[in-house]
Structure 1
Amino acid sequence: MAIEVIILSDNHGKVKVMDQIREAYPNADAYLHCGDNELRNSDMEPYHAVTGNNDYFYTYPEQLVVNVKGHRFFITHSHTLRYGKRIEDLVMLAKKNQCEFACYGHTHIFDDQIVDGIHIINPGSLYYNRDGSQPSFARLTIDDEGNTTVEKLYAEDLQ
């Protein structure tokens, strides 16, 4: 049976779009949030969330490792990683934590690449993408053979 993981970041307090995502993908195996949600912890259920540089008022971990049906995800906002070495640091941290995926936010730019065997994913921002594209999130699917597909999905399509 295929595995579905929904990945978001940088919604900066926008709750409605998060509710729309859960309604659109009610059977996802996991919901991951890569920081800058600016919401109370109770508003983040069922998301596994990390803290971002704008999460001033509520406490979330700096990093998380989440196991989704045997697949390990390293999650961070990435604002504390070295500038210009973010991807290198993500690969190192994912490997250190025995993860095959590294999910991050902060840049407000969608990213989907495999580096040194680690699948790196940034879902973009649900608030404002700095590359000029519409607010976005990601849907990761892992099929029965272990093949992965990452889709960039747009918040405007949920309405």
Structure 2
Amino acid sequence: MKRVLVVSDSHGNMGNLSEVIKRSKDIDMLIHLGDIQGEDELLRSMCNFPVEIVRGNCDFETNNKLYLTIELECHKIFATHGHAYGVEWGIERLSYAALEEGCDIAMYGHTHVPEIIQGDDITVINPGSISRPRQMNHKPSYILMELLDNGEVFYNLNYFEK
């Protein structure tokens, strides 16, 4: 089993994310979906596991890519911030881009609103924002993804409580 912490839109405020990392048990990887705003090395220094980061629309001085494909267990993940795929108007372009890359999971941020949409061909997830939430409850959020050895995947949406 692999446990992956999925976060987005920390916007340079690493307090909540630091606390989530401390509280999370047995994490194998962290995926940050952009708008980290220059805190890449600080994030990597907080983790004793691999960290993948994509470039968000507020990440100006970075070499991070607009999207990554990540293979874990028997799944292929398309990770992006989402602004280049117009996610504020829907997930269709993002879903098609992920499918074209042979992915069965697509992850994005940008909207600061968490969601998990499980379809026949692809699952699309957004962890929301770890520092600037926009959904009704206004709680910082993240997703803990568990990939089982038998191919099953579980997505646990969590809200950060101080």
Runs of 4+ with deviation above 4 angstroms: none
Counterpart of 2:21? 22
Relative to 1, partners in 2 of residues 1:21 and 1:124: Cα closer, same or farther, differing over 3 Å? same
Shift of 1:116: 4.2
Counterpart of 1:90? 94
Distance in 2 (alpha carbons) for counterparts of 1:80 and 1:32: 18
State the TM-score, normalizing by the size of structure 2: 0.86
Correspondent of 2:132 among 117, 128, 131: 128
Aligned residues: 156
Shift of 1:114: 1.8
* Correspondence list, 1:45-56, <5 A: 45=44, 46-56=50-60
Distance in 2 (alpha carbons) for counterparts of 1:132 and 1:80: 25
Distance in 2 (alpha carbons) for counterparts of 1:51 and 1:44: 14
Structure 1 residue matching 2:123: 3-state secondary structure: strand
The answer to whether the Cα contact below 8 Å between 1:30 and 1:68 also exists between their aligned partners in 2 is: no
Distance in 1 (alpha carbons) for counterparts of 2:111 and 2:54: 15
* Correspondence list, 1:51-62, <5 A: 51-62=55-66
State the TM-score, normalizing by the size of structure 1: 0.87
Distance in 2 (alpha carbons) for counterparts of 1:148 and 1:54: 30
Relative to 1, partners in 2 of residues 1:44 and 1:3: Cα closer, same or farther, differing over 3 Å? same
Please say which of residues 131-140 and 42-51 is displaced more in the overlay: 42-51
> What is the RMSD of the two structures over their aligned residues, measured on CA atoms?
1.9
The answer to whether the Cα contact below 8 Å between 1:135 and 1:154 also exists between their aligned partners in 2 is: yes
Is 1:39 the counterpart of 2:38 in the alignment? yes
Q: Deviations over 1:91-145 (max 9, x none)?
A: 1111111111100000011110123411101000012221132010001112333
Structure 1 unaligned residues grouped into runs of 5+: none
